[in-house]
Each structure stands twice: as structure tokens, then as C-alpha cells.
A = this chain, B = another copy of it.
């Protein structure tokens, strides 16, 4: 099979941390891919065509064309696992791998719904005043998640231990723009140092600016 037979297409929205995750990893792995911009604020992930590919109606969506075969994978962290398998970004050894997985699920359950969501409400939906109470409640949980990261990063340079893994990519995605949801990282020096370490990784590229308008 020639390499041309295997093509990766990432449907995503610029400015979305979830969409940035697989994009960053593909850059770090040197995997070429095509980016297709989807404006979710204008219903781009809810069209019949999009829903046929991802019934959950969410970006990112990774389309994998392999010879004549085309498949679509949803869930940003599942993409990280898929793309990183067999590389240093997803440890082979059982315990470091378990820890990386733990942080990936932590990110989707305890971090993203608060850190990313508050940013979305404030930056994209302009709800800072209107949803004050809702934002205060979510922000408390977001700070709790940052506190859990702070504890780990006070002990190890990266989340799953001594090495940079997809767990760091997953949690970098929204932590580095937490301030856009009015979070302050002042009380989290280990998190701040870790952000800098992630940005120092070979092949690191910053998250593209949002192009969609609120």
C-alpha cells in the first residue's frame, strides 16, 4: 500500500481545544492531514451530512481513508489513543499507560465540562453577566480540577509521570486558555511550569485562533 492510500481528514473548529488535541498530536507525529473547518455556532455539526458521519453531532471528527475504505472516529481523546498507539506518546508499559488513560478520562469528566465550558459561555456566547450563578458554580469545579492537576504536577514533570504523553496534550488543550473563561492560574505554579514544558516539546504548535464569530 502506498502512503497516499492512507489519508487523515480532521473536521474541527478553530479555537476549540478538543479539535486542537488531535491536530497537535498529528503535527508532533509528522502525520499529514487535511483540516476542514466546521462552524458549530452556525449548526455545522448538526447538518444531515455531518450527523450521518457522527450521530453525536460533535466536532472533532477524524475521517480515516484507507484505500477505498472511509471511516469516521469521534471523541478527541479516542483519536489521541488511536493516533498515538505504538508511539512514545502512549506508553506501552501497563502502569504508565493506565495513568495516561486515567488523566484522559479525568479531562473529559472533571475538567473539560467546567474549564472549557465556562470559556465557551464567556468567550463565544457572551454570557458572563447573564449566567453569573451558573458560571460561579462551574468555576468552582474547574478550580477543583486544576487543584488535582497541581498536586500531580508538583510531583512529576508530566501528568502520567516522567514523560510527555497524550494525557498532557488532552489537558493542555483547555488549561492554556483557561483565562479566556476568567480562570486565574495564580494559585497553580506547577500547572504554569507544566504549560511551559508542554510548549517546549518537539513539534509543538499553538492552537489556531478562533475564526467563528459568537
Instruction: Report which A residues bind B (CB closer than 8 A).
Output: 55-56, 58, 71, 73-78, 81-82, 85, 94-95, 97-99, 101-102, 104-106, 108-110, 112-113, 145, 147-148, 151-152
A81 to B98 Cα, complex, angstroms: 7
6 example contacts (A-B, Cβ-Cβ < 8 A) are as follows A55-B148, A71-B95, A78-B105, A82-B94, A85-B94, A105-B105
Collect the chain B residues with CB atoms within 8 Å of residue A77's CB: 101, 105
Collect the chain B residues with CB atoms within 8 Å of residue A106's CB: 56, 74-75
A102 to B147 Cα, complex, angstroms: 27
| Contact status A55-B151, CB under 8 Å | yes
Judged by DSSP, the binding face of A is helix
A97 to B147 Cα, complex, angstroms: 32
Collect the chain B residues with CB atoms within 8 Å of residue A97's CB: 81-82, 85
A151 to B101 Cα, complex, angstroms: 27
A30 to B56 Cα, complex, angstroms: 35
Minimal beta-carbon separation of A4 from chain B (angstroms): 19
A145 to B56 Cα, complex, angstroms: 7
Nearest B residue to A58 via CB reads: B110
A10 to B76 Cα, complex, angstroms: 29
Given A55-B148, A108-B109, A148-B55, also A102-B85 (CB < 8 A): no
With beta carbons under 8 angstroms apart, the residue of B71, B104, B113, B145 that contacts A78 is B104
